[in-house]
Amino acid sequence: MARVFGKDYNKGELMRLIGDVSQVAGMKEYELLEGKGRGVKAVDIWTGTGFSFTVILDRGMDISQASYCGKSLCWRSCTGEVHPHFFEPEGLRWLRSFFGGLLTTCGLTYCGAPCEDEGEKLGLHGRISHTPAEGVSIEKKWEGDKYELSLSGLLRESVVFGENIVLRRKIRTRLGESRLWIYDLVENEGFERTPFMLLYHINGGFPVVAEGSRLISPSLEITPRDDEARKGKEDYYKFSAPIPGFKEKVYYHKMKEDSSGLVQAALVNENLEGNGFGFYIKYKKEQLPEFVQWKMMGEGTYTVGVEPGNCTAEGREKLRKEGTLEFLEPGEKKEFELEIGVLSGQEAIDRFKAEVKAI
């Protein structure tokens, strides 16, 4: 059964009311026509609940926009969508094409701060978010009385005499749902042991992020990245109105998983029109042991990043020296699963708070 506009319908009941399923839920593929985004392929997805999001096929199959009933869930940067041809890998120039969005994937052989590792100069956050997908498959189908929407493709980070790593990504949702699931399978198709770093850069924005918003998380320890983050560490979970000249603060969280091995965290604004609003993430701690919080209360750049990963944001050189850098052996595969969903209304937020408190 699918719940649409407050009522449950089976397939037969719903199809009597509509000419095509796209009247309530669907997927539309298209290509951007102008500016720096010209030529970029994208897919819009909507589920019939007011939940919709955009997957950018030519940018790592990342999610550049997401909203619920007209309210954005994520922060959108001033760059907008940028074609991967404009990618500048040096130093911090990755930021020239960082659209923010609900998800920007960082990796695969390096991410985090720019550095020089074993003679190789590495920029910010890696290449995978600027990699176009190939073998893209868009599928819309009934599974009994459930209507499934899914999108899958392959992303490859490779170089002659170096790494050859493949990310196979599937993003799916359903008619009547206000959540999505991401399934990633990473495989080393090369013949050498290769550094492997992966960070899911999930970016909350207004109106989820606003004065009085909060991070809800089962955090056991919070470690500031630097002296700037140490200032006001006790308020890591509290967010203010935009502050002129604000300097970013980054915190590393040690999270507690629930009995099924899942970590749950959320960004919520309980002051919005008297009716709480936000989103949650769920992921397996075994797959993604690290959690980075990016607190950026600047004007325009006003966002909070909740970022599970297999690494921190310190850069590959530092992780190698610390002995915490992960590697993929030839032929080795690793799986990653995430769920991102809407929290709408105080009841939903209170229920989520109770789940985290129970952990």
| Tens digit of pLDDT at every position of the chain (359 positions) | 888 988 999 999 999 999 999 999 999 999 999 999 999 999 999 999 999 999 999 999 999 999 999 999 999 999 999 999 999 999 999 999 999 999 999 999 999 999 999 999 999 999 999 999 999 999 999 999 999 999 999 999 999 999 999 999 999 999 999 999 999 999 999 999 999 999 999 999 999 999 999 999 999 999 999 999 999 999 999 999 999 999 999 999 999 999 999 999 999 999 987 689 999 999 999 999 999 999 999 999 999 999 999 999 999 999 999 999 999 999 999 999 999 999 999 999 999 999 999 98
Structural tokens at position 305: 């990043």
Name the strands in the sheet holding 214-216, side by side, starting at the edge strand that comes first in the sequence.
134-143, 146-158, 164-174, 179-188, 333-344, 277-284, 262-269, 214-216
> How many domains does the structure of the chain reveal?
1
Here the CATH number for the domain that contains residue 173 is: 2.70.98.10
**What is the full DSSP assignment across 181-208?**
EEEEEEEE-SSS-EE-EEEEEEEE-TTT
Q: Please, what's the largest Cα pairwise distance for the chain?
A: 65
The domain in which residue 259 lies consists of 2-358
Q: Is 25 exposed, middle or buried (0-12, 13-18, 19+ CB in 10 A)?
A: buried
